[in-house]
Amino acid sequence: MQIEKLLKQPNALPAAPKVVRKLIATFDQEEVDMSQVAALIQDDPVLTAKLLKMANSAFFGLTRSVSNAKEAINVLGLIKVRALVIAASFGEGFHCVGSVNMNQFWRYSLNSANLARYIALPIRIDESTAFTSGLIHNIGELVMHVGMPEAMIDLERSVPMLDLKRANAEKGLFGYSYADVGAALAREWHFPKRMITAIEHQCAPFENETYEPIAGVVHIASWRARAEEGHMRSEMLINTYPDPVGLALGIDPDIVVGEENPALTRTEDASEPA
C-alpha cells in the first residue's frame, strides 16, 4: 500500500485532542506557566487519569504517589508530564492494535525517551524535544498496523517490530518505514518542525543533506532501547553500535554501550497509556 493511501485509511491518523494541541503549542514558548499547564490537563479527566496511571507506575519508581496534574509536574517535571499526556492521547487513539504487544511498545518507547534525554544533556541538545521525540518516534508502527494489518502481521513473522533491521525491511517492502509515517502523523498534529524532522530522519539522520542532531539522538536512543528488548549483551552492543552517528554528535559510546544504563528501566510495568 502506498503511503498516501495508508494515511487516508479510517482511524489511521487520529485527531489531536484540544488539550494536546494546546500542549504542543507550548514547545515554542520561552516560558511556560506550570499552573496553567496543570489546569489545562485537569480539564480532560480521561487524559489526567492516564497521566496519573503512568506517573504512579513502577516504571518511574516514585517514592510517593501523585494525585493530580500539578503534583505530577512538581515531581516529574514539565518535560516528562507534557510528553506523557501526548503519549496518553496516542494510547487513546490506538487502544488495541492487532498483534502489537502494547505494554512492550510503551516500555520500549519510554526507555527510548529516557535514553534520548540522557544522551542529549551532555552534548547540549534540547532535552525536552529529545525526550518527546524519543517517546513518540515509533508511533508510525501503530498507524501502519491500523491501516494495513494483514501486511504488518506478515512482516512481523520475519522481522519483529523492535528488530534492528525493521526500518530497512519496511522500506524494502513498502517503500517507506515507520519513520516516514510517524512524521506524517506529527505534521497532522502540528508538532514543531524540528521534532517532525527528527522523527522523519531518525533511521538515517545525516543523509540526504539533512542535519538534525535530535534525529541522531533518537537514532542512538532507539538502537539501545531495541537492544535492551532483544537482551543484547556486551559483544553485540559493541558490534551494532551506530558509530558514524555517535561520532557526528560527539557522543561518548561508553555511556550507551554498557549493559547497565541508568536511563533504562527493566520493569515489566510500563503502564501503557491505553
- Amino acid at site 138: N
Q: Determine the Cα–Cα distance for residues 266 and 227; give it in Å rounded to an integer.
A: 12
Residues 143/12, Cβ–Cβ less than 8 Å: yes
Q: What are phi and psi of 176, to 5 degrees?
A: -155, 165
Topology (CATH) of 3-15+86-257: Hypothetical protein af1432 (1.10.3210)
Q: Which three cell numbers stand for residue 7?
A: 494515511
pTM of the predicted protein model = 0.93
Q: Where are the alpha helices (DSSP H) in 33-158?
A: 34-42, 45-55, 69-76, 78-93, 102-120, 127-136, 139-147, 149-158
User: What pLDDT score was predicted for residue 197?
Assistant: 95
CA neighbours closer than 13 Å in the CB half-sphere of residue 249: 28
Query: What percent of the chain stands above pLDDT 70?
Result: 96
User: What pLDDT score was predicted for residue 159?
Assistant: 96
Delimit the domains of the chain by residue range: 3-15+86-257
User: What pLDDT score was predicted for residue 100?
Assistant: 87
User: What pLDDT score was predicted for residue 208?
Assistant: 67
147-167 pLDDT, tens digit each: 999 999 999 999 999 999 999
Buried b (16+ CB within 10 A) or exposed e, 56-87: bbebbeeeeebeebbbbbebbebbbbbbbbbb
User: What pLDDT score was predicted for residue 81?
Assistant: 95
* 139-147 helix and 178-188 helix, angle to the nearest 10 degrees: 100
pLDDT 10s per residue in the chain (274 long)?
Answer: 899 999 988 878 888 889 999 999 999 888 999 999 999 999 999 899 999 999 998 888 888 899 999 999 999 999 999 999 999 998 877 866 778 898 899 999 999 999 999 999 999 999 999 999 999 999 999 999 999 999 999 999 999 999 999 999 999 999 999 999 999 999 999 999 999 999 999 999 988 677 789 999 999 999 999 999 999 999 999 999 999 999 999 999 999 998 889 888 877 666 666 5
